[in-house]
């Protein structure tokens, strides 16, 4: 549990760099959602372990965090960020729950796809990975209930997908937190049977739609359709134009290949099956069957016949990709791969050197006690022999060796004495995304909070612990990186509360 914050202007939606949340220290801003803010954090005292993701509630006592922690702690998959910690941040305005998960250096799915030109095999691989994340979720007795592009992150280093944001999830035995007929979720991804239930029981005061694994698979189909066409299928809400294709016995949506001829038959068939009007036709609600079908479809496409999904254009528009944007993304991906490989090598080096450090630490402790005592005894013997000068040399030689082993092999340099590395030289000359001349939309304007915020060019900013080139969401100014402070007005939710 963190220390109670005495400054009322500290907003959970915009914590300054350096703020402590329990044992975690904020080092960067990750994003603002409808009921939680994401921060990049590090564990105090274990900074070498690298960054983690801390999700902090924007409303005190939000019960959704307990549900999300329950699901994450029981969902074990390489395609779901691992839960590391949970707790409560005590603030003057109340107690705010938080979760800490593995940090994913990636982009939301649709943003990732808009800056790249993925192939059919890549997309089938992403669908397979999200399906396997659902396999683990369903095996834990849970449902995600908000599968969509914004809740899937694609890691830049290797293109691996991660299903995130289980706050709208549900599990057997969980307490109902809403009086609404339909569960939380994003309307555009709801299944046809969910809307049919709403129409049938609209006036019933107590019933709730019993979401199933078929609902998660339908949402996965909507996500895949949008991924390969840059368009959503017709809305399933019966009040919306075009929704008649989802009625019982309806034809369903047009095939993705009708909107994008680059979509091949294997990918086309998989998406259409996920979007079947009848829920039992969606692989009978079995996510494992979806993952296997995606894997088999990918294997049918030989690498030499694999095709890119979008055509090229210098001006981005739906169905087209910009060569320059794809080139820049390829450069960022390569840098992310190098960073990931470097961190892996550093971790292996630390693990390999741990036994040696422990051995040498024990040796140093032995010298610090036994060695010094032996040196004193030797001095007494030499004094008795009448060789005082030689005793002085022996004593201080032994003491100096003991001290040298205890503190390390080499001298400790101050920051000004450390030689500059190539990476540091590169950063010194790099230029990130420049700070805009005027405030961004939805950015806070002066007066700025005194707690870590600064006023620059008519807007409020806070400095992050990084140097240019800055992250995509950050801006470079005078050799440092800054994040915009969000305006204080309430954000529009992207999903219904549970």
Tokens of 283: 């692989």
- Residue 10 confidence (pLDDT): 79
Tokens of 421: 């590395």
Contact residues for 479 (Cβ-Cβ < 8 A; gap 6+): 467, 468
Q: Is residue 237 part of a domain?
A: yes
Q: What are phi and psi of 55, to 5 degrees?
A: -105, 115
Tokens of 268: 């086309």
Per-residue confidence at 361, pLDDT binned at 50, 70, 90? low
pLDDT tens for each residue of 144-177: 999 999 999 999 999 999 999 999 998 887 776 5
Instruction: Note down the domain range covering 454.
Output: 425-484
The domain spanning residue 278 has which CATH number? 1.10.510.10
Judgement on whether residues 192 and 175 belong to the same structural domain of the protein: yes
Choosing from 286, 321, 356, the residue where a domain stops is 321
Judgement on whether residues 61 and 167 belong to the same structural domain of the protein: no
Judgement on whether residues 81 and 112 belong to the same structural domain of the protein: no
Choice between 490 and 151, residue whose per-residue pLDDT is larger: 151
Judgement on whether residues 67 and 80 belong to the same structural domain of the protein: yes
Contact 58, 35 (CB under 8 A): yes
Judgement on whether residues 98 and 116 belong to the same structural domain of the protein: no
Contact 290, 131 (CB under 8 A): yes
Judgement on whether residues 129 and 62 belong to the same structural domain of the protein: no
Judgement on whether residues 116 and 81 belong to the same structural domain of the protein: no
Is 195 in a helix, a strand, or coil? Answer: helix
Residue with tokens 């189909």: 221
Contact 77, 161 (CB under 8 A): no
Per-residue confidence at 403, pLDDT binned at 50, 70, 90? very low
Choosing from 102, 120, 146, the residue where a domain stops is 102
Judgement on whether residues 212 and 303 belong to the same structural domain of the protein: yes
Residue 374 in this model has a pLDDT that exceeds 90 = no
Judgement on whether residues 218 and 296 belong to the same structural domain of the protein: yes
Judgement on whether residues 196 and 63 belong to the same structural domain of the protein: no
Q: Is residue 155 part of a domain?
A: yes
- DSSP string over 103-169: ---EEEHHHHHHTS--BHHHHHHHHHHHHHHHHHHHHTTEE----SGGGEEEETTT--EEE---TT-
pTM over 0.85: no
Contact 291, 216 (CB under 8 A): no
Q: Which helix (H) or strand (E) holds 459?
A: strand 459-464
Residue 105 in this model has a pLDDT that exceeds 50 = yes
Q: Is residue 94 part of a domain?
A: yes
Residue range 68-72: average pLDDT?
95
Packing angle, helices 120-139 and 213-229, rounded to 10? 160
- Residue 290 confidence (pLDDT): 98
Judgement on whether residues 250 and 184 belong to the same structural domain of the protein: yes
Choosing from 102, 132, 164, the residue where a domain stops is 102
Q: How many domains does the chain have?
A: 3
Residue 70 in this model has a pLDDT that exceeds 70 = yes
The domain spanning residue 66 has which CATH number? 3.30.200.20
Tell how strand 52-57 and strand 36-43 pair up. Answer: antiparallel
Q: Is residue 251 part of a domain?
A: yes
Residue 295 in this model has a pLDDT that exceeds 80 = yes
Q: Is residue 252 part of a domain?
A: yes
Q: Is residue 398 part of a domain?
A: no
Tell how strand 24-32 and strand 36-43 pair up. Answer: antiparallel
Residue 482 in this model has a pLDDT that exceeds 70 = yes
Contact 484, 459 (CB under 8 A): yes
CB atoms within 10 A of CB 297: 22
Q: Is residue 38 part of a domain?
A: yes
CA angle at residue 343 from 342 to 349, to 5 degrees? Answer: 90
Judgement on whether residues 126 and 36 belong to the same structural domain of the protein: no
Q: Is residue 387 part of a domain?
A: no
| Bond prior to 303 in cis (omega within 30° of 0) | no
């Amino acid at each position: 549990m963190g220390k109670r914050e005495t400054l009322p202007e500290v907003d959970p939606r915009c914590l300054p760099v350096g703020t402590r949340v329990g044992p975690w220290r904020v080092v960067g801003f990750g994003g603002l959602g409808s009921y939680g803010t994401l921060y990049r954090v590090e564990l105090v005292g274990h900074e070498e372990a690298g960054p983690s993701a801390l999700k902090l509630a924007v409303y005190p006592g939000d019960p959704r965090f307990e549900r999300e922690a329950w699901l994450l702690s029981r969902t074990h998959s390489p395609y779901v960020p691992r839960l590391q910690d949970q707790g409560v941040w005590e603030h003057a305005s109340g107690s705010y729950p938080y979760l800490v998960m593995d940090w994913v250096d990636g982009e939301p799915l649709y943003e990732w796809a808009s800056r790249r030109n993925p192939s059919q095999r890549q997309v089938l691989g992403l669908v397979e990975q999200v399906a396997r994340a659902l396999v683990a979720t369903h095996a834990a007795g849970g449902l995600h209930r908000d599968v969509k592009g914004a809740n899937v992150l694609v890691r830049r280093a290797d293109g691996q997908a991660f299903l995130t944001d289980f706050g709208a999830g549900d599990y057997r035995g969980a307490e109902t937190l809403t009086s609404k007929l339909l569960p939380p979720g994003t309307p555009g991804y709801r299944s046809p049977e969910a809307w049919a239930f709403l129409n049938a029981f609209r006036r019933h005061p107590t019933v709730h739609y019993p979401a199933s694994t078929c609902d998660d698979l339908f949402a996965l189909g909507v996500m895949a359709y949008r991924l390969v066409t840059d368009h959503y299928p017709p809305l399933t809400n019966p009040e919306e134009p075009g929704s008649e294709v989802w009625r019982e016995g309806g034809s369903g949506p047009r095939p993705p290949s009708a909107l994008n001829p680059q979509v091949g038959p294997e990918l086309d068939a998989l998406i259409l099956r996920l979007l079947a009007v009848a829920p039992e036709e969606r692989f009978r609600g079995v996510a494992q069957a979806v993952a296997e079908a995606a894997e088999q479809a990918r294997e049918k496409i030989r690498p030499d016949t694999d095709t890119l999904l979008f055509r090229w254009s210098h001006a981005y528009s739906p169905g087209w990709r910009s060569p320059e944007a794809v080139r820049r993304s390829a450069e960022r991906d390569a840098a992310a791969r190098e960073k990931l490989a470097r961190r892996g090598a550093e971790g292996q080096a630390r693990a390999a050197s741990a036994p040696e450090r422990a051995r040498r630490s024990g040796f140093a402790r032995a010298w610090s006690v036994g060695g010094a005592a032996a040196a004193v005894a030797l001095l007494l013997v030499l004094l008795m022999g009448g060789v005082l000068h030689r005793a002085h040399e022996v004593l201080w030689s032994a003491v100096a060796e003991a001290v040298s082993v205890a503190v390390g092999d080499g001298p400790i340099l101050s920051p000004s004495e450390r030689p500059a590395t190539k990476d540091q030289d590169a950063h010194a000359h790099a230029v990130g995304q420049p700070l805009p001349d005027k405030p961004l939309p939805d950015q806070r304007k002066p007066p700025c909070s005194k707690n870590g915020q600064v006023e620059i060019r008519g807007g409020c900013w806070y400095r992050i612990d990084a140097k240019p080139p800055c992250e995509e969401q950050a801006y470079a100014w005078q050799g440092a990186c800054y994040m915009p402070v969000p305006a204080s007005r309430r954000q529009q939710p992207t999903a219904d509360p549970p």
